[in-house]
Amino acid sequence: MISLEKICRSFTVGDEKVHALRDIDLRVSDGEYISIMGPSGSGKSTLLNMIGLLDRPDSGTYRIGDEDVTLLSDRRQAEVRCHRIGFIFQFFHLVSRMTASENIELPMILAGMEPKQRRGKVEEAVEAFGLADRASHRPDQLSGGQRQRVAIARATVMQPEILLADEPTGNLDSTSGMDVINILERLNGDGITLIMVTHDHSLGRRATRQLTMVDGRIERDTVPSLSSAPGS
């Protein structure tokens, strides 16, 4: 379970202070499927980065389970990022000099996993995400959809409990975008908590819980009646 309490984050640009997040309160239960929508600059990415421990709040507390993760040491934070959170970026952020399978292997290398075990997992992931014939290609030899699938494979290979995606389809055409969404929803179906920022309302509406942000606040937090109630 994730809980954010009174999370504030502001940036100073020149003389001006931009409040990207104002007193955000949010509780997310395990296995939820949440979409975050809202106008550009409303703080969606900042919130997601906060949850992914890529950024640090100015004030407020952020807990995963019972642990206040903002207070952790660098090493422990790295551990949380490594084992409990997967992050997918709009611009993929693959390491360009590495092949698809090497990119997927990277988190396991950082975690110090045995090479044998790593190879097995990479093979599984490559298979599961339909990358078998692309495993030894470098990112610049892959299509956008393939790159994002590599990124998803990399984000999930450590079997995290939380998967965060910041406009994962933002750079893709609608077909490969749908592919990616299907993969993410399948992972959610397997139990992973999925939080996805998107500009696309039709995609956002597929989530079981929909947040709308405006100007650094969560303006709306709806659970469409058709789906099951969150937090159960």
Ligand X SMILES: Nc1ncnc2c1ncn2[C@@H]1O[C@H](COP(=O)(O)OP(=O)(O)OP(=O)(O)O)[C@@H](O)[C@H]1O
Instruction: Specify the 3-state DSSP secondary structure of 116.
Output: helix
Q: Which of residues 56-75 bind another protein (CB under 8 A)?
A: 56, 74-75
Site string for Mg ion, 31-50 (x = CB under 5 A): --------------x-----
The SS3 of residue 194 is: strand
Which of ligand X, another protein, Mg ion, none is residue 204 near (CB under 5 to 8 Å by kind)?
none
Q: Of 110, 113, 106, 20, nearest to 58 (Cα)?
A: 20
**Interaction between residue 19 and another protein (CB under 8 A):** no
Beta carbon of residue 43, minimum distance to ligand X (angstroms, whole number): 4
Q: Looking at 32-171, which runs of residues are DSSP E strands?
A: 33-37, 59-64, 67-68, 85-88, 162-166
Binding piece for ligand X, criterion CB under 6 A, among 40-48, 64-72, 177-185, 220-228? 40-48
Helix (H, G, I), strand (E, B) or coil at 109: helix
Q: Which of 4, 20, 94, 158 binds ligand X (CB under 6 A)?
A: 20
Residue 20 near residue 181, CB atoms below 8 Å: no
226 binds, among another protein, Mg ion, ligand X, none (CB under 5 to 8 A by kind): none
DSSP state at residue 200: -
- The Cα–Cα gap between 203 and 9 comes to 27
| Contact assessment for residue 222 and residue 210, using Cβ atoms and an 8 Å cutoff | yes
Interface residue with another protein, options 6, 97, 201, 220 (CB under 8 A): 97
Cross-strand pairs, 62:
4
Task: Give which of another protein, Mg ion, ligand X, none residue 158 binds (C-beta under 5 to 8 Å, depending on kind).
Answer: another protein
Decide if residue 139 touches another protein (CB under 8 A): no
55 binds another protein (CB under 8 A): yes
Q: Which residues bind ligand X (CB under 6 A)?
A: 11, 13, 18, 20, 38, 40-46
